[in-house]
Amino acid sequence: MRSIVAEGLAKKQKDISVAEFFERNKQILGFDTSTRALITSVKEAVDNALDACEEATVLPDIFVKIQGGEDDEYRIVVEDNGPGIVKKQIPHVFARLLYGSRFHSYRQSRGQQGIGISAAVLYSQLTTGRPTVVVSKIGEGYPAHRLTLLIDTKQNRPETVQEDMVHWERESGTRIELAMQGRYVRNTKHSVYEYLRSTAIVNPHAQITFVEPDGTRTVFERATDRLPPQPREIKPHPYGIELGTFMKMAKESTARKLSSFLSTEFSSVSQNKAEKIIQQAGLGPSDRPGKLSLDDGKKILKAFQGVKLMAPPTDCLSPIGELLIKRGLRKEMESLSPEFIATDKRSPAVFSGIPFLVETGIVYGGDLPAEERVDILRFANRVPLLYQEGDCAITETIKNIDWRIYGLQQRGGKGLPYGPAIILVHVASVNIPFTSESKEAIAHVEEIEKEIDLSLRQCARKMRSHLSKQEKRVKTRRKFVLISQILPQIAAKAAEVVGKPVPSIDEVIIKIMNIVWVDDHVSFQKGTVTSTIDITNYKDRAQSFQFYAALPDGGEVVSVSPEPAERNQRYLMWSVSKLQPGEKRQLSFQLGGMAEGDFDENSLYVKGIDPVNVIGVEKWEGG
């Protein structure tokens, strides 16, 4: 009897394709609600367009249009000016899941799995039954091919319904049109508009034109004509490799010797290091990689940990940069008239042998609401993360910082802060550790959380310095104005009463003030920023100290006066020696290649004097 049941169950068992799986589990890919489905579809198409343009070293010019709304059916059009796609690849790129060129590439990119855009095509097909139309042209003088596509979900294969050659004005590019059931919303954080606005912040080299269902047209202008650095592909690092992956690489390797396999197919492994690893594993350099046993693989992985290797190269990453993040934030937040914007970029770091880098920004003041929770902008490889905020390492790290010491409100010193601020965090990596296939939240990786924490604290210190500087200057200026106006009148009146000349009150003012006053001014003219710093000693003794001015990432120093004692890419340092009571000294520098708003406030520091006695600076804590 049991054998009959077993045979019956066996007959029911059959293969399913990945397309069939996602057909029944579309929520895994971010199509769980009608609102999110619309956003996800636009997101996948725009991400592909940006990647294509950057790979072809073309400044992206992207057009997004959403039409319809009748019976909740919308038509999405996304068009780019990229290199286009050759005709035979179009069906596979758009109508075949898990097909792509980036999955095996070990460098930073927006899409890697080959699921995104084909998942949008699948969702379109499921909800409307309509095919997707793709037009692509690979260059001037070539025809544009228009293909109408469906997905055969049983086979996970594209089905071309129709193909034509058409005239298209663009020199090259790709256009996708798909229909789907959805819900369009505008004035919420979870909207197509907000996704495109956020995309414009971290992709300041792109111009995005958006036409909404009601015809409203918005152009997110590019803030720079400079393309981001093209990330280079690297090999996997030994510290992050797993046994199964290692064995697969060994079996598929064309290397005839184990030493050659290790030195050519892993980053940071020289021939000398390869021989040390092999020796420590108790194997021979001439052993064939394809003949390694599972036990041999375990020995090599253990030997990897016993040999000191350099960190993987970081030119596989493409950071945005402090200046361009600031430009993006200023451009898109202009209507809020922010009082202050701080940005920071960390040096590349590594987790499990995988290189990554963190960049952050804080927008403060202006018309931002003072009593509401701060807005958090999360990004991974230049892509906005709109959903699953609570499950993300970025959010968790923000919660664990005591923002009260930096000038924001926070109940109990934990949790998300309140105040007139926006916090931005961007994580760039060759392999972002997402929590799910929908790629909306970053997993809780200790190394990543540490770098986010350090970078945010650096931005927060700049914000605190700005607020402290403003407060101290207002109080001290009031005191100075009061003293400088009232004391001369008292001295004149007293001199008149006793019939003597009006005495000098400079020494009296110095004794009352008892500070070193730093007044700085930043101006912009024709691509050049000029920073002028006046240091006046209102103490009763000569003062000597080191004075630092931080430089923005990417700023080019054109001139400095007087010549500093030390200068590098991060700061200028002057030795202020024997500044006499009442004496004023002026420091200045100019930065070239700047846009207005790139550098609008100095970050000034002192060493060798108590910063409490210096108005307008912070204590120097750098190296």
pLDDT in tens, 146-170: 999 998 888 888 889 999 999 999 9
Cα–Cα dist 375/408, whole Å: 13
Say yes or no to pLDDT of 425 above 90. Answer: yes
Q: Is 525 exposed, middle or buried (0-12, 13-18, 19+ CB in 10 A)?
A: exposed
Across 14-28, average pLDDT: 55
322-464 in CATH: which number? 3.30.230.10
Chain CA centroid to CA 317, Å: 11
Across 337-364, average pLDDT: 91
Across 392-396, average pLDDT: 96
Place of tokens 């004692």: 565
* Three-class SS state of 590: strand
pLDDT given at position 607: 94
Q: pLDDT, tens digit, for every residue of 210-240?
A: 999 999 999 999 989 989 888 888 888 888 7
pLDDT averaged over the chain?
87
Q: pLDDT, tens digit, for every residue of 556-591?
A: 899 999 999 999 988 999 999 999 988 999 999 999
Say yes or no to pLDDT of 394 above 90. Answer: yes
Of 585 and 467, more confident: 585
pLDDT given at position 486: 75
Among candidate residues 529, 511, 536, the one with its CA nearest the CA of residue 599: 529
Quickly state the pLDDT bin for 113 (edges 50, 70, 90): very low
Quickly state the pLDDT bin for 484 (edges 50, 70, 90): low
pLDDT given at position 480: 66
Residues sharing a CB contact under 8 Å with residue 71, sequence separation 6 or more, in sequence order: none
Q: pLDDT, tens digit, for every residue of 46-91?
A: 999 999 999 899 999 999 999 987 788 999 999 999 999 999 999 9
Please check whether residue 466 is in contact with residue 364, taking contact to mean a CB–CB distance below 8 angstroms: yes
Say yes or no to pLDDT of 2 above 70. Answer: no
Angle at alpha carbon of residue 604, lines to 550 and 569, rounded to 5°:
10
pLDDT given at position 476: 65
Among candidate residues 49, 77, 369, the one with its CA nearest the CA of residue 199: 49
% of the chain at pLDDT higher than 90 = 51
Q: Containing H/E element for 582?
A: none
| E strand map for 374-445 | 375-380, 383-384, 421-429
pLDDT given at position 101: 45
Cα–Cα dist 230/57, whole Å: 8
Residues sharing a CB contact under 8 Å with residue 138, sequence separation 6 or more, in sequence order: 83, 84, 85, 86, 172
% of the chain at pLDDT higher than 70 = 89
238-306 in CATH: which number? 1.10.8.50
Q: Hey, which of 344-353, 413-422, 497-506 has the most confident mean pLDDT?
A: 413-422
pTM of the model: 0.81
pLDDT given at position 217: 96
Across 397-422, average pLDDT: 92
Chain CA centroid to CA 512, Å: 48
Quickly state the pLDDT bin for 23 (edges 50, 70, 90): low
CATH 3.30.565.10 for domain 18-220, yes or no, is yes
Q: Containing H/E element for 429?
A: strand 421-429
CATH fit for domain 505-619, picks 2.60.40.1170, 3.40.140.10, 1.20.120.160, 1.20.140.150: 2.60.40.1170
Q: What is the DSSP string of 220-269?
A: E--S-SPPPPPPPP-PPPGGG--HHHHHHHHHH---SSHHHHHHHHSTT-
Across 366-391, average pLDDT: 92
Q: What is the DSSP string of 205-219?
A: T-EEEEE-TT--EEE
Domain ranges of the chain: 18-220, 238-306, 322-464, 505-619
DSSP state of 503: P
pLDDT given at position 558: 93
Bridge partners, residue 179, by sequence: 75
